[in-house]
Amino acid sequence: MTSQIITLVGVLVGALTSFFATSMAERARFHRTLATRWDERKLDAYIEYISCVKEEVRASRQAIEAGERGEDNSQALSEMAAAEARRSVLFEGLVLLSNEAAADAARSVNQRTWDLLEWTLDPGAEASARRSELSILVIEALNTLHRAARSDLAMGDPRRATGRRRATPAL
């Protein structure tokens, strides 16, 4: 009788151990899947937003160049306005998905882009010099956003991929 109880306890311990091990593995797999899904959405949001800003900058450049040649720039201005409306919507999604550093970088991109668009609508005298300056400011803001996005997505961080921290070497 004692041997049967010991066997029964052994089976029970084995079953519980198996249950907990499987539960832990499934939970870890679920969290990895969830993190991957959100990272994919974040990446898509970053790509769409940055592409839209580039479309705005391109349309701005085309509008200025057409104006400098004395041509009609209404088509480029229309494209610029459409891209601005799209960028505004994409920005909201980006802020919802990104971390604070990336959201701040995107706000900076917004401000630089607005400066460029405002100037495009009323260029004044030194058109090409000012356009280059404003375009460079937008590009610098985009580069800052790229760095923040890579950090947010943990691109190039081996700890994120494995879920383990690398040991720091002893000095």
Q: What is the pLDDT along the chain (171 residues), one digit of tens a residue?
A: 788 888 888 888 888 888 888 878 778 777 776 556 678 889 999 999 999 999 999 999 999 888 888 899 999 999 999 999 999 999 999 999 999 999 999 999 999 999 999 888 887 656 566 778 888 899 999 999 999 999 998 875 545 544 444 444 444
pLDDT tens digits, one per residue of 99-125: 999 999 999 999 999 999 988 888 765
Task: Say what the pLDDT of residue 171 is.
Answer: 41
Q: Are 87 and 112 in contact (CB under 8 A)?
A: no
Task: Say what the pLDDT of residue 19 is.
Answer: 81
Q: Using a CB cutoff of 8 Å and minimum separation of 24, what contacts does 117-126 make?
A: 117/56, 117/60, 117/80, 117/84, 120/60, 120/63, 120/64, 120/77, 120/80, 121/77, 123/64, 123/67
Q: Say which amino acid occupies 1.
A: M
Instruction: Please list, in sequence order, all residues whose beta carbon lies within 8 angstroms of the beta carbon of residue 128, skipping any fewer than 6 positions away.
Output: 64, 68
pTM above 0.85, yes or no: no
Block residue for tokens 């990104």 = 98
- R_g of the chain, CA atoms, integer Å: 27
Q: Provide the token pair at 20.
A: 């907990």
Q: Which domains does the chain have, with CATH numbers?
A: 39-154 (1.20.120)
Task: Say what the pLDDT of residue 102 is.
Answer: 94
